[in-house]
Amino acid sequence: MKSSYQFFRKVRSSLFLIMTNSLILINANAQDYKVSTVVKNLNFPWSIAFLPNNDMLITERSGNLRLVSDGKLLEEKVTGLPNIYVSGPAGLFDVVLDPNFVKNKKLYISYSAGTPSNNYVEVISATLQGMSLQQTQVIFQGSSRNTPHHHGARMTFLPDNTLLITAGDGFNFRDQAQSLESLLGKVLRINTDGSIPKDNPFIGQANARAEIYTYGHRNPQAILVSKAKQVWLHEHGPKGGDELNLIKPGLNYGWPAITYGEDYSGAIISPFKEAQGMEQPVTYWVPSIAPAGMTEYQGTIFPQWQGNLFVAALAGKSVRRLSLENNNVVEQETMLGDRNQRIRDIRTGPDGFIYVLTDSIEGELLKISPMQ
């Protein structure tokens, strides 16, 4: 009886695997887009933010904030950044504009701060005055760790103008993703002045950090709010098991108690892929693609892609276009695979074109436009 139940569970797991991974893979040879280079010579570019005048701010992980104006990369760098801990994957990360940037010129920047033995995700608010950051203020500081890995550090605004910040597990501290006393392996939610929103899911709970919005994450590398006001997030798995998750406040996304991946050493991380009280991903990737940035297309240039999610892939050296129905991925297309470039970020510009950053010491800003 027990062996029959176990057999049934294995069959169920296999069917789920087939259902979630046997998506229709579109042959990208019949592509209806072209890719052009906007600027070159970016040093490990990480994130794009579009200014109201269509200029672009681009962060370089090496610690610079650059400006692309009229399609040209300015040599002059934006000044006023704080001290940034740059080592391996650690450095300058995300930049997002305040919802009222047109009036207040405020933006938010995430980065790794500290030292090799004590570093953490930090977020500042600042005002952009020409090519200078002014009125800089630290509004968030994450939990300490002693590795340069897994910072997370992507940000997005909820419709109520609170700020979501992703925080990785620091690689060596994966168990803390399940601890509500740590800010590692979490999505945090704060007000733009650094205070804690009164309706955060764990506020007032003993032994829980009030900033926590969701927990059980490994290294979330993108977070966005869709047109339907849903929060989408993706995160790196270990060796296999990268995930796309639909985020809801207070929920546990399972890492490292459940995972579809294994450790890089070949060891198990958990014998479980599912558990009660822990959320399943909408989709996952085995082998890993190392998802980086993500955008939901809401432009007019590519009407056939309305509502699709686009996922940048580092190890996957491509962009994955995901078509959704009822929050399920029903179609997945691999794009830009022929370029054989690690893709770090992807955004929809205000002009309706799609912009992509490649992850390289000679990084590029690419533009995806219609073939005709």
Nearer to other proteins, 262 or 351 (CB): 262
Residue in 52, 204, 266, 303 binding other proteins, rule: CB under 8 A: 266
Q: Looking at 275, 350, 361, 370, which residue binds other proteins (CB under 8 A)?
A: 275
Asked if 263 is part of the footprint of other proteins (rule: CB under 8 A), the reply reads: yes
Q: Is 280 in the site for other proteins (CB under 8 A)?
A: no
Q: Which of 149, 150, 151, 236 is labelled catalytic? A: 150
# binding residues, other proteins (CB under 8 A): 27
Q: Closer to other proteins at the Cβ: 176 or 358?
A: 176
Shortest Å, Cβ 273 to other proteins: 11
- Per-residue three-class SS string for 271-304: CCCCCCCCCCCCEEECCCCCEEEEEECCCCCCHH
By beta-carbon proximity to other proteins, the closer residue of 36 and 265 is 265
Binding to other proteins (CB under 8 A) within 172-211 occurs at 172-175, 178
> Catalytic annotation on 150?
yes
Our finding on whether 351 is near other proteins (CB under 8 A) is: no
Which segment (33-41, 135-143, 166-174, 281-289) binds other proteins by CB under 8 A?
166-174
Distance from the first to the final alpha carbon of the chain: 62
Closest separation in Å from C-beta 126 to other proteins: 29
Does position 357 interact with other proteins (CB under 8 A)? The reply is: no
Comparing CB distances to other proteins, the nearer of 152 and 197 is 152
Position among 108, 120, 171, 310 found at the interface with other proteins (CB under 8 A): 171
Q: Are strands 219-225 and 231-236 parallel, antiparallel or unpaired?
A: antiparallel
Nearer of residues 24 and 267 to other proteins, judged by Cβ: 267
Report, in Å, the least distance between residue 266 CB and other proteins: 3
Rg of the chain, C-alpha, whole Å: 20
Cis peptide before 287 (omega within 30 of 0): yes
| Nearer to other proteins (CB atom), residue 133 or residue 251 | 251
Residue selected from 126, 222, 247, 257 as contacting other proteins according to rule CB under 8 A: 257
Q: Which amino acid is at 108?
A: Y
Q: Does 113 bind other proteins (CB under 8 A)?
A: no
Q: Are 340 and 333 in contact (CB under 8 A)?
A: no
Please tell me whether residue 290 binds other proteins under the rule CB under 8 A: no
Residue from 79, 87, 298, 306 that binds other proteins (CB under 8 A)?
A: 87
CA distance linking residue 90 with residue 355, whole number of Å: 23
Residues in contact with other proteins by CB under 8 A are: 6, 87-88, 147-149, 171-175, 178, 256-257, 262-272, 275, 277
Point out the residues that are catalytic.
Answer: 150
